[in-house]
């Protein structure tokens, strides 16, 4: 299970990044999504999953994803 820490949207709201803490361990996951107009939903950006040990580098990685 994941605990959503923060959600950050791009300036045009076409991309978003979710920062989640895994509840069963100490890892933090960062996943990027893009908005699909045809399906009217957020789809996961392929290869976007990053895992880190702490939240210190999380925002740096998030900005790179966006």
Helix (H, G, I), strand (E, B) or coil at 58: helix
pLDDT of residue 66: 65
What secondary structure letter does DSSP report for 62?
H
10 Å Cβ neighbour count for 30?
Answer: 23
Domain extent, residue 26, equals 2-65
Give the model confidence (pLDDT) of 17-59 as tens digits: 999 998 888 888 989 999 999 999 999 999 888 888 777 677 7
pLDDT of residue 25: 81
Question: By C-alpha distance, which of 14, 64, 22 is closest to 43?
Answer: 14
pLDDT of residue 65: 66
Determine contact, residues 21/28, Cβ cutoff 8 Å.
Answer: yes
Instruction: Count structural domains, the chain.
Output: 1
Site of tokens 């994941």: 2
């Amino acid at each position: 299970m994941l605990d959503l820490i923060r959600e950050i949207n791009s300036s045009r709201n076409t991309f978003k990044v979710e920062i989640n803490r895994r509840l069963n361990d100490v890892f933090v996951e960062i996943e990027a999504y893009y908005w699909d107009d045809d399906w009217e939903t957020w789809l996961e950006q392929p290869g976007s999953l990053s895992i880190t040990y702490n939240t210190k580098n999380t925002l740096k990685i998030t900005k790179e994803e966006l």
